Structure 1
Amino acid sequence: MSPHAYANLLPPSWKTVVLEWFKEDCPSFDWGGYVVGEEERTATLLCKTEGVLAGVPFVNAVFEEMQCSITWNFDEGYFFTAKDSMPGTPEGRVKVAVAHVRGPTRNLLLGERVALNTLARCSGIATSSRRMLNAARAAHYRGIVAGTRKTTPGFRLVEKYGMIVGGVDAHRYDLSSMVMLKDNHVWSTGSITNAVEAARRAAGFSLRIDVEVQSKAEAEEAIRAGADVVMLDNMTGDELVACARSLKSELGDAHRFLLESSGGITLANLEQGAHLDDAIDIISTSAIHQSTQHVDFSLKIDH
């Protein structure tokens, strides 16, 4: 395994969440497990739609907890297509043997749905992320493509992990990762300048301050107040590009800052060239992880 395997990003405490997943999925009697018993069997993990494989360490931990072993046929980050399908698969269909799992039948089936749900969601986000990044690069955008913090409570680690495997920037992980000042922070403190100055006093030099603005005038105030990143929220098309270029031209020599475009960015409008300009350093979007289509996986006992 590469020393830079994605799994090496995960904190040592993360596996505790696996037990919580099992508590949710099997809170009392395991009726199906009683039926099938504990004879040792093998099962094949199948992928049935195109997509990026992401979530391998989570699936490993699920089956490890169930005293099962798993062998993967592909590296994490691989993009499955019909060409990877098993012999005999109808033309144009996807049916890829992704991995093989071995263990007591009861345990295989206990881990099945927890593993598949996690893998499907994480791979879906990785796939959307890969497609968004590819569209940006195809349009010759050289800046950062990032996700957002609009993740599912309790499942953020998996979703942020999927973004990283898909190749995009995960943006800030939580409220402590970077200072982001939005309209409510500004209204509560009276001005952008007041909010930035208060944030800098508390956060010091080691954290970036990202300020959400609605106009060029607000962007100028944020930059002069010392914001590291200025988010041009819900600006689109010519307005966005004109604002970004003007800010870089007028203030770029005297101040160091990044410009971020956010709000309503999807694969469709990205492919049309919206938001893509060298003056814009970061494109952030929740489209890669909200309302994202899952990659379809199944687990079949070999027989």
Structure 2
Amino acid sequence: MASSHGELRHLLPESYKRLVASWLEEDCPSFDYGGFVVGESEGEARLLGKSKGVVAGVPFFDEVFKQLGCTVEWHVKEGETIEPVRQCATVRGPIRKILLGERVALNILARCSGIATKSSSLVNALRSHGWKGTLAGTRKTTPGFRVVEKYGILVGGADPHRHDLSSMTMLKDNHVWACANKSGSTKSIESIASAIPVAVDAAKAAGGFATKVEVECRSIEEANAAIGAGADVIMLDNFTPEGVREAAKQLKTEWASKGKPPGTFLIEVSGGLTESNAATYASDDVDILSTSSIHQGTGIVDFSLKVSLR
């Protein structure tokens, strides 16, 4: 993804550098026996892209070798689609240090590029069907590796969605019932729909004007309750494709007649979306399609480092 607003790497928090340090420590917690054999001779290594895909994860790759006293010269741009076999970069420095960072750097780059490739593929597929909405990931990420996965989604042209529990209030059915139970009002609440306003009010009171509230809805009744309570995003969860299109159109049309025009609330669709079926859920009334398929269980882009002495 080429951003017209600047480099995506500028979004990264300084904490990613500490993550890189911890990954290097994890890979070599005591003695580097192989490095001892190699010694301190200077050299360089060619980074080869060995399968087709979108290159992503450049800042993490760079930081691995920066922390080891090496330099990286890139021959491709992040977000570029490569064909095998392509020399993507040259790493220079002590051979021992290059080999010390090799596996950590390649693992990050391969995984991040795999996510960017899958994200880009699905975005392009949806655009080919004329859909102009937002494809987003989910919070089903790998603990300790979330920043890399979310970054890969961005490079691939999709939206990372919320990064953590503090990014936005997401009210699922368990939140709604738990909130109603805490307030002691469950005796007067007969359904999730009637409990939603209680939960939305509590969320808005806690998060204030700056925190959006999203409500997971499994029926039109629940969606109407959420919109009426002032939710910012309505997630239609596990609807059929036809059910999604009908529900989204009905909600947008009926609430526009009540003074809530398009843009007052967003409609998100989630639940079982993949590259093979996502387009069937897309319509002009659907603003967001969210799926974990673009970052969970995706393949990799294969890279290798080939060392040579200077």
Q: TM-score range by the shorter chain?
A: over 0.9
> Match of 2:146?
156
User: What CA distance in whole angstroms lies between the structure 2 residues aligned with 1:268 and 1:302?
Assistant: 43
Give the counterpart of 2:237 among 233, 239, 244.
233
Deviations 1:205-254 (A, max 9, x none): 11110100110100000000000000000112111111111111111342
User: What CA distance in whole angstroms lies between the structure 1 residues aligned with 2:308 and 2:234?
Assistant: 55
> Match of 2:189?
none
User: What CA distance in whole angstroms lies between the structure 1 residues aligned with 2:132 and 2:105?
Assistant: 36
User: What CA distance in whole angstroms lies between the structure 1 residues aligned with 2:119 and 2:256?
Assistant: 30
Give the counterpart of 1:132 among 111, 114, 122.
122
Kindly state the Cα deviation for residue 129 of structure 1 after the two structures are TM-superposed.
0.6
Alignment of 1:9-158 (within 5 A): 9-81=11-83, 94-158=84-148
State whether structure 2 residue 252 is matched by structure 1 residue 262.
no
Runs of 4 or more above 2 Å deviation = 252-255
Give the counterpart of 1:170 among 157, 160, 180.
160
User: What CA distance in whole angstroms lies between the structure 1 residues aligned with 2:94 and 2:298?
Assistant: 34
* Partner-residue secondary structure (3-state), 1:299: strand
User: What CA distance in whole angstroms lies between the structure 2 residues aligned with 1:122 and 1:162?
Assistant: 5
User: What CA distance in whole angstroms lies between the structure 1 residues aligned with 2:68 and 2:256?
Assistant: 56
User: What CA distance in whole angstroms lies between the structure 2 residues aligned with 1:183 and 1:16?
Assistant: 36
Unaligned runs of 5+ residues in structure 2 are 181-194
Deviations 1:273-296 (A, max 9, x none): 311100101000100000100110
Alignment of 1:207-222 (within 5 A): 207-222=211-226
Kindly state the Cα deviation for residue 70 of structure 1 after the two structures are TM-superposed.
0.7
How many pairs align?
Answer: 289
User: What CA distance in whole angstroms lies between the structure 1 residues aligned with 2:16 and 2:26?
Assistant: 17
State whether residues 236 and 274 of structure 1, in contact with CA within 8 Å, keep that contact through their aligned partners in structure 2: no
Kindly state the Cα deviation for residue 3 of structure 1 after the two structures are TM-superposed.
7.0
User: What CA distance in whole angstroms lies between the structure 2 residues aligned with 1:39 and 1:285?
Assistant: 47
User: What CA distance in whole angstroms lies between the structure 1 residues aligned with 2:240 and 2:40?
Assistant: 59
> Match of 1:301?
307
The letter of the residue matching 2:287 is D
User: What CA distance in whole angstroms lies between the structure 2 residues aligned with 1:74 and 1:10?
Assistant: 20
State whether residues 181 and 211 of structure 1, in contact with CA within 8 Å, keep that contact through their aligned partners in structure 2: yes
Unaligned runs of 5+ residues in structure 1 are 82-93
* Partner-residue secondary structure (3-state), 2:48: strand
Deviations 1:118-152 (A, max 9, x none): 00111011001100100110010011111111110
Residue identity over aligned pairs, in percent, reads 54
> Match of 1:87?
none
State whether structure 2 residue 13 is matched by structure 1 residue 7.
no
Kindly state the Cα deviation for residue 17 of structure 1 after the two structures are TM-superposed.
1.1
User: What CA distance in whole angstroms lies between the structure 1 residues aligned with 2:271 and 2:15?
Assistant: 33
State whether residues 128 and 166 of structure 1, in contact with CA within 8 Å, keep that contact through their aligned partners in structure 2: yes
The letter of the residue matching 2:38 is V
State whether structure 2 residue 188 is matched by structure 1 residue 202.
no
